């Protein structure tokens, strides 16, 4: 529909959903802003789609006068470099395919309308850009009949989105090539590889963060000496250690590396000038609680990680979920904090089982 008038001409429409992924080795910094190439490799867990996900519908019609996008019911500008890049790349592939196969051509002359909803807080440090761009690119690819891997296009929408194109444990290699051809997302292991692993998402503040990830990491790369040290001397070996921990289902190593990497990422934010504070007092209390809990048991039973926002993601094993949930509910009863600090806990039954 354009301007609310019903159309008599056919409309092609596709709806997809995509899950979020939460990194245990964090991506923070680009070496190429245009191609979205990272300064270090990263590794994440893609969560179950039936919990936190994006749902996107894309439609094409000759009636549409221009490309348009709505996010969570509000129209947004389509003229952002990232959206234009994704639309442009998809249309380029569709044109190439049309040339080769004499198919999918009829939609090429059409404008598209994109309607996307996140069922979790947007721009709050819960990877909305990852699920959002993974879903957008997947839906457009299906609409235009493009087969094969399109994670390199999702990456150019938001770096972390390339990892949401796969389920389970996913690495994003740094790559060396100038054109980005070897900076790709790959599944390290499917979700079924570690069925006892659980994730608790603790929403501390559902509001939009003050500094978006794109801008935040730009300032960090420009001003922090620590982030350069981290990329060169810490992450490469940590990535290998993490892959081994995942493959061996070694929760002690997995948990410790996860917490150390989250802490170092937030240290680079503090080392940014002017500093960026993503963690708040509640986040820090959660960190203390997890360390007290682990110390009490004499081993790592739960591991926290925080993206660019105050909301905690806890990794733990199935048997420990009731105890950790009870602890969180005891120390952070729902709505016990002030208005802006809603605290509640959501348990994910398992990690993702499906590819996008």
Question: For binding to Co ion (CB under 5 A), which residues are involved?
Answer: 129, 213
Based on the shown chain and the rule CB under 6 A, indicate whether residue 136 belongs to the binding site for ligand ADP: yes
Based on the shown chain and the rule CB under 6 A, indicate whether residue 158 belongs to the binding site for ligand DP6: yes
Site for ligand ADP in 274-313 (CB under 6 A): 307-309
- Tell me which of 132, 159, 180, 255 binds ligand DP6, using CB under 6 A: 159
The bridge status of strand 53-61 relative to strand 12-19 is antiparallel
Based on the shown chain and the rule CB under 6 A, indicate whether residue 213 belongs to the binding site for ligand DP6: yes
H/E stretch holding 282 = helix 281-297
273-300: b or e for each residue (b if 16 or more CB lie within 10 Å)?
A: eeebebbeebbeebbebbeebbeeeeeb
Measured from the CB of residue 209, what is the shortest distance to ligand DP6 in angstroms?
A: 11
Measured from the CB of residue 141, what is the shortest distance to ligand ADP in angstroms?
A: 15
| Structure-block tokens of residue 193 | 């590889």
Measured from the CB of residue 22, what is the shortest distance to ligand DP6 in angstroms?
A: 7
C-beta of 132 vs 255, nearer to ligand DP6: 132
Which is nearest to 307 in space by CA: 175, 182, 199? 199
- Tell me which of 52, 94, 126, 269 binds ligand ADP, using CB under 6 A: 126
Measured from the CB of residue 123, what is the shortest distance to Co ion in angstroms?
A: 8
* CB-CB contact of 38 with 94 (8 Å): no
Residue span binding ligand ADP (CB under 6 A) among the ranges 126-134, 167-175, 243-251, 277-285: 126-134
CA 173 to CA 99: how far, in whole Å? Answer: 32
Based on the shown chain and the rule CB under 6 A, indicate whether residue 114 belongs to the binding site for ligand DP6: no
CA 10 to CA 110: how far, in whole Å? Answer: 11
C-beta of 28 vs 251, nearer to ligand DP6: 28
Counted residue by residue, the chain has a size of 356
What is the DSSP track for 154-209?
HHHH-GGGGGGGS-SEEEE-----TTSTT--EEEEE-GGGSTTEEEEEEES--SPP
Residue 336 φ then ψ, to 5°: -80, -20
Residue 47 φ then ψ, to 5°: -85, 170
Binding-site partner at residue 122 among ligand ADP, Co ion, ligand DP6, none, CB < 5 to 8 Å by type: ligand ADP
- Tell me which of 23, 60, 90, 276 binds ligand DP6, using CB under 6 A: 23
Based on the shown chain and the rule CB under 6 A, indicate whether residue 132 belongs to the binding site for ligand ADP: yes
- Tell me which of 17, 122, 151, 343 binds ligand ADP, using CB under 6 A: 122
| Structure-block tokens of residue 181 | 């051809």
Nearest residue (beta carbon) to Co ion: 129
C-beta of 160 vs 343, nearer to ligand DP6: 160
C-beta of 42 vs 213, nearer to Co ion: 213
Residue span binding ligand ADP (CB under 6 A) among the ranges 23-31, 41-49, 120-128, 283-291: 120-128
What is the DSSP track for 107-150?
TTT-EEEEEEEESS-TTSSS-HHHHHHHHHHHHHHHHTT--S--
C-beta of 52 vs 94, nearer to ligand DP6: 52
Chain contacts with ligand ADP (rule: CB under 6 A): 54, 71, 116, 118, 122-130, 132, 136, 158, 212-213, 307-309
Chain contacts with ligand DP6 (rule: CB under 6 A): 23, 26-28, 36, 42, 127, 129, 158-160, 213-214, 307-308
């Amino acid at each position: 529909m354009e301007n609310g008038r019903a159309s008599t001409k056919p409309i092609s429409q596709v709806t997809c959903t995509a899950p979020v992924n939460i990194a245990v080795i964090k991506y923070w910094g680009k070496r190429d802003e245009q191609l979205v190439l990272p300064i270090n490799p990263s590794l994440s867990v893609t969560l179950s789609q039936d919990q936190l996900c994006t749902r996107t519908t894309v439609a094409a019609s000759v009636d549409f006068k221009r490309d348009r996008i709505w996010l969570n019911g509000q129209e947004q500008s389509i003229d952002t470099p990232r959206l234009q890049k994704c639309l442009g790349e998809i249309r380029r592939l569709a044109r190439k395919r049309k040339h080769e196969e004499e198919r999918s051509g009829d939609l090429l002359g059409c404008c598209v309308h994109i309607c996307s909803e996140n069922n979790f807080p947007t721009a709050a440090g819960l990877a909305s850009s990852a699920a959002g761009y993974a879903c957008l690119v997947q839906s457009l690819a299906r609409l235009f009949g493009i087969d094969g891997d399109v994670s390199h296009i999702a990456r150019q929408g938001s770096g972390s989105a390339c990892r949401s194109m796969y389920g389970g444990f996913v690495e994003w290699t740094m790559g060396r090539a100038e054109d980005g051809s070897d900076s790709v997302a790959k599944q390290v292991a499917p979700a079924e590889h570690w069925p006892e692993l659980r994730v608790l998402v603790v929403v501390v503040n559902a509001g939009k963060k003050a500094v978006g990830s794109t801008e935040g990491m730009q300032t960090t790369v420009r001003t922090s000496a620590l982030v350069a040290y981290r990329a060169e001397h810490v992450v490469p070996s940590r990535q290998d250690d993490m892959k081994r921990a995942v493959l061996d289902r070694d929760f002690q190593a997995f948990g410790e590396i996860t917490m150390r990497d989250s802490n170092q990422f937030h240290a680079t934010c503090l080392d940014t000038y002017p500093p960026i504070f993503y963690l708040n007092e509640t986040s820090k209390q959660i960190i203390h609680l997890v360390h007290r809990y682990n110390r009490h048991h004499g081993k790592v039973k739960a591991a926290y990680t925080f993206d660019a926002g105050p909301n905690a993601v806890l990794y733990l094993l199935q048997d420990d979920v009731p105890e950790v949930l009870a602890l969180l509910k005891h120390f952070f009863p729902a709505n016990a904090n002030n208005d802006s600090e809603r605290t509640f806990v959501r348990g994910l039954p398992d990690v993702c089982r499906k590819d996008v």
